[in-house]
Amino acid sequence: MNKSIKILGLIAIIMISSLFIFSTNTTIEKNTDGKIENDKNTSETYRIKALKIPLNLTFAGEKVPLEKADIKERIDRELLVNTYWQSNGLLLFKRAHKYFPIIEPILEKNGIPNDFKYLAVIESGLQNVTSPAGARGFWQIMKSTGRENGLEINTNVDERYHLEKATQVACDYLNAAKERFGSWTMAAAAYNAGNAGMARKIEAQKVTSYYDLLLGEETQRYVPRMVALKEILSNPQKYGFVFETEDLYKLEQTKTIKVDTAITNIAQFSKNLGINYKVLKIHNPWLRENNLNNKSRKLYELKIPSEN
């Protein structure tokens, strides 16, 4: 009996609460048929606007041929997707402020157009991620490509997660692709589809421009995505992103220490430096285990916070 009373009381409380929530959050009225409908439509509080595509879009100094209807539609798609995915867009602004200063000088040193920093944006969102195919790091480098270009990759160390070294590998690949295919847009497409894949497409379709090739969905979107993100990240207010400099992520100041011996326990090694395991791994994500084997006595450079 008491249990039944308690249950009925609980139901009553829930019903009253539901009525209160409904009455305080929704204004209702009856239409001409006597049916209840909302007082306000979504359109009165939230608007999704079509975007005007700038006519002077370029990538790596090459003009985007917006006179081609399919190219215009592909650019429009990427502008819309990346403008209205607001949370992701704002995160990209924050991360770009932190990592572009590392990437840009390496691109410049290697003669790679600055626009290629947006390749890292579309590949990984400027994060150390792993693809289903096994590509890793900011530049999404495959194991075979990394090793061919001098990166150490094993269970102990994976330099695809070393931003500076991985950026250099990306530069080497892009320069070689530009030399082979003749344009930066083709080099960008080759970064996604592979040199052999692009060569087969060019031979089969008898064209030499990226914008004239019929490619797979991912490669077809590749350059337009970079063009769109370049436009959005270069003009935040134009696309509705509002923030102050203090809202953006900043790279922590570090100093470099050199190690040419094995580290049997990185957690203890970190404590000896006055930091902890997490901090050391944040600044050196290429260290993949709690030890550094280093049987060859290779000289490694580790970053640690400057104050330590």
Q: Say what the pLDDT of residue 3 is.
A: 43
86 and 17 within one domain: no
Whole-angstrom distance, CA of residue 153 vs CA of residue 144: 9
Determine, yes or no, domain membership for 273: yes
Q: Cα 17 from chain centroid?
A: 43
> Domains in the chain: how many in total?
3
Determine, yes or no, domain membership for 141: yes
Q: What is the CATH number of the domain that holds 106?
A: 1.10.530.10
Please give the full DSSP string across 141-178, using - where no structure is assigned.
Answer: B-HHHHHHTT--BSSSBBGGG-HHHHHHHHHHHHHHHH
Four-point Cα dihedral 140, 143, 145, 151, nearest 10: 100
* Residue whose entry in the numeric block shows the structure tokens 């939230």: 46
Residue type, 232: I
Determine, yes or no, domain membership for 53: no
Determine, yes or no, domain membership for 167: yes
124 and 201 within one domain: yes
Pairing of strands 36-38, 62-63: unpaired
- As a whole number of Å, the end-to-end CA separation of the chain is 68
106: its two tokens: 């390496």
Q: What is the pTM of this model?
A: 0.84
Determine, yes or no, domain membership for 49: no
70 and 12 within one domain: no
CA distances from 13 to 3, 9, 19, 20, 209 (A): 15, 6, 10, 11, 69
282: its two tokens: 């944040």
Determine, yes or no, domain membership for 16: yes
148 and 15 within one domain: no
Q: Report whether 305 contacts 279 (CB < 8 A).
A: yes
173 and 294 within one domain: no
Bridge partners (DSSP) listed for residue 301: 258
Q: Report whether 65 contacts 57 (CB < 8 A).
A: no
132: its two tokens: 């289903």
Q: Which of 200, 217, 247 is the last residue of a domain?
A: 247
278 and 259 within one domain: yes
204 and 92 within one domain: yes
238 and 127 within one domain: yes
Whole-angstrom distance, CA of residue 4 vs CA of residue 254: 66
155 and 261 within one domain: no
- The tens-digit pLDDT sequence of the chain (308 residues) is 444 444 445 444 444 444 333 344 444 444 555 554 555 666 677 788 899 999 999 999 999 999 999 999 999 999 999 999 999 999 999 999 999 999 999 999 999 999 999 999 999 999 999 999 999 999 999 999 999 999 999 999 999 999 999 999 999 999 999 999 999 999 999 999 999 999 999 999 999 999 999 999 999 999 999 999 999 999 999 999 999 999 999 999 999 999 999 999 999 999 999 999 999 999 999 999 999 999 899 999 999 999 87
Q: Which of 207, 232, 247 is the last residue of a domain?
A: 247
Determine, yes or no, domain membership for 219: yes
161 and 72 within one domain: yes
Range of the domain at 283: 254-305
Determine, yes or no, domain membership for 52: no
285 and 201 within one domain: no
Instruction: Work out the burial of residue 94: count CB atoms within 10 Å of its CB; fewer than 13 is exposed, 13-18 middle, 19 or more buried.
Output: middle
Q: Say what the pLDDT of residue 41 is.
A: 63
185 and 112 within one domain: yes
Q: Say what the pLDDT of residue 48 is.
A: 87
